[in-house]
Amino acid sequence: MTRPARRTHADIRRALLAREELALLDVREEAPYAEAHPLFAANIPLGKLELESYARIPRRNTPITVYDNGEGLAQVAAQRLLDLGYSDVALLDGGLAGWQRDGGEVFKDVNVPSKSFGELVDAERHTPSLSAEAVQGLLDARADVVVLDARRFDEYQTMSIPGSTSVPGAELVLRVRELAPNPQTRVIVNCAGRTRSIIGAQSLVNAGIPNEVAALRNGTIGWTLAGQALEHEQQRRFGEVSAANRQLAQASARAVADRAGVTRAHLADLHQWQAEARRTTYLLDVRTPEEFENAHLPGSRPAPGGQLVQETDHIASVRGARLVLVDDDGVRANMSASWLAQMGWDVAVLDGLQHADFSERGAWHTPLPPQPGADTVSPQTLAHWLHTPGTQVLDFTSSANYVKRHIPGAWWALRSQLAQALEHIPVAERYVLTCGSSLLARFVVAELQALTERPVFVLEGGTAAWIAAGLPVEESRQQLAAPRIDRYRRPYEGTDNPREAMQAYLDWEYGLVEQLGRDATHGFFVI
């Protein structure tokens, strides 16, 4: 076993200020990560390294620094990354506690770079906003107003402002003239909290649309705290864009990107960059998922622009890397790039693309290492085995998916806490592992065999195949063999969050600009 080197807080800080490439990985589960982490730390839980690393850290010689908070995960993760072919892996000296000991700032929540940047934009540009009560008054008065929801469509469907239309952030500048053709119509942009409302509204201001624009202050959280009713399961979406409106959007988006210093590039530049051995280049298609699947540039991956700006740390986990954005008309790529450039990224937009360049079809497939061999069992055989004692099913899907439905009698476990989980699970003659597709389950087989010295099988096709076969499932929280720390419960998601949690989240967001000042490594600017 190779002993990883160590890097200090000072090493990471120097590299960030020099805009050198680095990946600072928190390998804990998402919930503890969300409690405290450095600004530019990316979260890849230990149990998912094989599934996520190649996509999020594509260059194998990227300097990677791994940490935990004393749980003993970082050393295992470092070795696992070395086994995956990464050559420059180090441990953060002292872990999270060492970072704080040496004066490093820590942040709460997830996607903090974008959220703190959004607050900086609001502080410097004083993005126009309206309170929930004011917007409700406009709606009640049947004023000439449109409300545009800048979140993903599935988030919009969960809860939305009455009468609003789903227009994910990167689509706003492209679509707004169709949705508000009268320059006298007031345009209000909302999300669940603050960031996408601010960035969306400011995008329209920056693009110079003639309409009066405002963000819904504090989004659906503010709406709920005001005691106002939300809609659910709505289907209102944007439509097609006329050629004239597309041309107006193209010109305004390009002007905004130029103001932000976005690089212009062609396919020849892209190919040269992709051949560089010491730089990471992400090629990201910022159109809708449907457009990507219909036709896309070879080697690109889908990253709808609004979510890319919101979740850059999750999609591009190498800080200091180059981001190359692509679409088929320049509007969404230029608007997304304008924000990423202000967030300190080296970002370029591909110009001069032809229809024939979009030659690939279908969904994007995450790059993965070779899957370990495993003995498999069909859903029908497993169903037969479960009629008699001796077989135990372990489910490694997300805890939310497990609680919603799982194979009767299955125990939920976290791969990173497998040994501890086995203390709660009855000993069996044989074990069958599953998850949604059984992909993650395959990587657990050898670990479980070493711990139990019993036969271990993988369910063919995972729980999805079990369900497709018409076999029974159950909803239960009774057999959780690990704490549900795999996902941080976001105060702005869903409709049943405590009011105190929603208000605390808003209070936290308002304090982010001050935290940025203390951290002083962000490199953000606002045009």
pLDDT at 496 over 90: no
C-beta contacts of 295-298 below 8 A and 24+ residues apart = 295/358, 295/359, 295/360, 295/361, 296/358, 296/360, 296/361, 297/326, 297/350, 297/353, 297/357, 297/358, 297/359, 297/360, 298/359, 298/360
pLDDT, position 226: 93
pLDDT, position 137: 97
Do 93 and 25 belong to one domain?
yes
Do 390 and 304 belong to one domain?
no
pLDDT, position 114: 96
Residue 520: C-alpha distances to residues 119, 229, 343, 427 (Å):
15, 40, 13, 52
Host H or E run for residue 499: helix 499-510
| DSSP, residue by residue, 298-309 | TT-EE--HHHHH
CATH code for the domain in which residue 463 is found: 3.40.250.10
pLDDT in tens, 367-419: 999 999 999 999 999 999 999 999 999 999 999 999 999 999 999 999 999 99
Residue 325 covered by a domain:
yes
pLDDT at 182 over 60: yes
**What is the mean pLDDT of the segment spanning 458-486?**
95
Q: Give the whole-angstrom CA distance, residue 342 versus residue 121.
A: 10
Do 202 and 158 belong to one domain?
yes
Do 83 and 138 belong to one domain?
no
Do 269 and 220 belong to one domain?
no
pLDDT in tens, 478-495: 899 999 999 998 877 766
pLDDT at 55 over 70: yes
- 3-class SS string, 463-496: HHHHHHCCCCCECCCCCECCCCCCCCCCCCCCCC
pLDDT in tens, 79-124: 999 999 999 999 999 999 999 999 999 999 999 999 999 999 999 9
pLDDT, position 493: 73
| Inter-helix orientation angle 499-510/512-519, to 10° | 40
- Of the pLDDT bands very low, low, confident and very high (cuts 50, 70, 90), residue 476 is confident
Do 264 and 299 belong to one domain?
yes
pLDDT, position 441: 97
- Listed residues 70, 86, 112: the one ending a domain: 112
Residue 508 covered by a domain:
no
- Listed residues 468, 496, 515: the one ending a domain: 468
pLDDT, position 495: 63
Full-model pTM: 0.95
Do 78 and 27 belong to one domain?
yes
**What is the mean pLDDT of the segment spanning 501-516?**
90
Q: Is 1 or 52 the better-scoring residue by pLDDT? A: 52
Do 328 and 399 belong to one domain?
no
In percent, how much of the chain has pLDDT > 70? 99
Residue 364 covered by a domain:
no
pLDDT, position 212: 98
pLDDT, position 391: 97
Residue 506 covered by a domain:
no
Q: Give the whole-angstrom CA distance, residue 483 versus residue 54.
A: 28
pLDDT, position 2: 62
Do 223 and 149 belong to one domain?
yes
**Average pLDDT in the chain:** 96
Domain count of the fold of the chain: 4
pLDDT at 14 over 70: yes
Do 321 and 379 belong to one domain?
no
pLDDT, position 382: 98
pLDDT in tens, 199-249: 999 999 999 999 999 999 999 999 999 999 999 999 999 999 999 999 999
**What is the mean pLDDT of the segment spanning 176-181?**
97
Do 150 and 206 belong to one domain?
yes
Do 185 and 279 belong to one domain?
no
- Of the pLDDT bands very low, low, confident and very high (cuts 50, 70, 90), residue 51 is very high
pLDDT, position 490: 85
Radius of gyration (Cα) for the chain, nearest Å? 24
Structural domain harbouring 338? 260-355
Q: How far is CA 95 from the centre of its chain?
A: 24
pLDDT at 1 over 60: no
Residue 524 covered by a domain:
no
pLDDT in tens, 334-374: 999 999 999 999 999 999 999 999 999 999 999 999 999 99
- Listed residues 112, 133, 152: the one ending a domain: 112
pLDDT in tens, 424-446: 999 999 999 999 999 999 999 99
Residue 151 covered by a domain:
yes
pLDDT, position 192: 93
Nearest to 50, CA basis, from 362, 465, 435, 453: 435
Residue 28 covered by a domain:
yes
Non-local CB neighbours of 397 within 8 Å, separated by 6+ positions? 406, 412, 434, 435, 436, 440, 462, 463
Q: How far is CA 153 from the centre of its chain?
A: 15
**What is the mean pLDDT of the segment spanning 140-164?**
96
Residue 487 covered by a domain:
no
